[in-house]
Amino acid sequence: AQSVTQPDIHITVSEGASLELRCNYSYGATPYLFWYVQSPGQGLQLLLKYFSGDTLVQGIKGFEAEFKRSQSSFNLRKPSVHWSDAAEYFCAVGPLGQAGTALIFGKGTTLSVSS
């Protein structure tokens, strides 16, 4: 079955420290991969996406993610976290070139930033 796993439910990092949020997927084919961020009570905003090509993807707000096919992972990273990065982060996958489908989301990781 297709699935997305975000192993960390909640992470706390100090402001200025580096961040890595983990995402693992189970998929029968090459997927499209996404990271979204959600502030409390708001909709989701796209941070970055991977379709093909360079496996290191740059996104908005200084985030990047690396696709590792051998590990079925798409981890999100940021070198220096700001207090405004505190939010919930969702990894999502979708099938390549398959019409009539929707994304599958992980359960999310809540990021807290301490001063």
Partner 1 sequence: DGGITQSPKYLFRKEGQNVTLSCEQNLNHDAMYWYRQDPGQGLRLIYYSQIVNDFQKGDIAEGYSVSREKKESFPLTVTSAQKNPTAFYLCASSYGGSSGNTIYFGEGSWLTVV
Query: Closest separation between CB of residue 107 and partner 1, Å?
Result: 4
Query: Closest separation between CB of residue 19 and partner 1, Å?
Result: 20
Distance CA 33, CA 93 (A): 5
Give the CA angle between residues 104, 106, 110 to the nearest 5°: 145
Residues composing the chain: 115
Query: Closest separation between CB of residue 115 and partner 1, Å?
Result: 26
105 lies in the site for partner 1, by CB under 8 A:
yes
Give the H or E element holding residue 49.
strand 44-50
Binding footprint of partner 1, residue count (CB under 8 A): 27
Return the DSSP state at 70. G
Residues 30-69 that bind partner 1 (CB under 8 A): 32, 34, 36, 41-46, 49, 51
CB-based contact 50:93 (threshold 8 Å)? no
73 lies in the site for partner 1, by CB under 8 A:
no
Residues of this chain that bind partner 1 (CB under 8 A): 9, 32, 34, 36, 41-46, 49, 51, 90, 94-103, 105-108
